[in-house]
Amino acid sequence: MRYEGSVYRPPSEAYSLIIQVTIGCSHNQCTFCSMYKDKNFRIRSLEEIIEDLHRARNHYEKVKRIFLADGNALVLKNQDLKGILLKIQELFPECERVGIYSSPKDILRKSGEELKELRDCGLAIAYLGVESGSDRILRNIKKGVNAKEMVEAGQRIVASGIKLSITLISGLGGKENWREHAIESAKVINVINPDYLGLLTLLVDPHTEIHREIQEGRFQLLSPQEVMMETEELLKSLKVENCIFRSNHASNYVALAGTLPQDKERLLQEIRAVIDGEDEDYKYEGLRRL
């Protein structure tokens, strides 16, 4: 396989065949993100992509999942994406799921019918980085959309029948806006009602804009206990149905997992036990990047 630069994928795509459809991220302005700063964004040619699929077919005996990278492969024109998905069906009839990173802007550029076409061609799950439901925080991190647009994007994916996995980032509001971050994020999630909700915790890379804000005293990081207090506030405010919740990423201080609303009270009890010092210690800072 041919890969350009570092390749990123969601945790749930750990065993997937990764195909780079785009190189880098077309937005690439988020203050907390360093993932694609070493790449100039471009869409790969269909010839290259199809060639990679053939190479993979010749190399791998069985492929259950395929993930279309990089940062927001949904930026492709629908006709091109459909062509890729149909080629996957042809070459990998055993493939059970195709996933894709999707930015809110790229979702909003597609009609509901276009998204349903992609679903019918085999696109099974889309990953959307909401990060926060607060307009203030979305503006501060230069996400490029507001909460209303984020809700519209999420609802459009859900309505299409494509599974939706949303990511939020604990600590993204800093000490000043942690409660607003929790409450407003819950409002957005409640309206969208995604299939999956992943809660990461802010990791600061020295090459990001948010690192400069910290160095200049314009942003204050939350302590591990404050992160858990924010998580508690978020969970208290969540009102979703049949949503698989995970906060067990390498970045998280404490591993949490359950299905909402069924496991909500258990999760809140686990969080409160940690805050009150009755349960496990927080993950050592040096281990949060492993």
pTM of the complete model: 0.95
The one-letter amino acid at 193:
N
* Residues 182, 205: Cα–Cα separation, whole Å: 23
* Residues 286, 94: Cα–Cα separation, whole Å: 40
Mean pLDDT of 241-249: 96
Assess whether pLDDT exceeds 80 at residue 252. Answer: yes
Got the DSSP string for 173-231? TTTTSHHHHHHHHHHHHHHH--SEEEEEE----TTSHHHHHHHTTS--PPPHHHHHHHH
Please state, for a pLDDT cut of 90, what percent of the chain lies above it.
Answer: 87
Instruction: Give the pLDDT confidence of 133-191 residue by residue, as tens digits.
Output: 999 999 999 999 999 999 999 999 999 999 999 999 999 999 999 999 999 999 999 99
Mean pLDDT of 206-223: 96
Long-range contacts of 213-220 (CB under 8 A, 24+ apart): 213/31, 219/174, 220/174, 220/175, 220/176
Q: What is the mean pLDDT of the chain?
A: 94
The one-letter amino acid at 96:
E
Mean pLDDT of 193-221: 96
Please state, for a pLDDT cut of 70, what percent of the chain lies above it.
Answer: 98
Q: How confident is the model at residue 109 (pLDDT cuts 50, 70, 90)?
A: very high
Helix axes 46-59, 78-91, angle to 10 degrees: 20
Q: How confident is the model at residue 132 (pLDDT cuts 50, 70, 90)?
A: very high
Q: How confident is the model at residue 281 (pLDDT cuts 50, 70, 90)?
A: confident
Instruction: Give the pLDDT confidence of 23-78 residue by residue, as tens digits.
Output: 999 899 999 999 888 888 999 999 999 999 999 999 999 999 999 999 889 999 99
CATH architecture assignment, domain 11-287: Alpha-Beta Barrel (3.20)
pLDDT at 135: 98
Assess whether pLDDT exceeds 90 at residue 123. Answer: yes
pLDDT at 21: 96
* Residues 289, 278: Cα–Cα separation, whole Å: 25
What are φ and ψ of residue 51, in 5° steps? -60, -40
Residues 6+ apart with CB under 8 A from 159: 112, 115
* Residues 91, 105: Cα–Cα separation, whole Å: 31
* Residues 290, 280: Cα–Cα separation, whole Å: 19
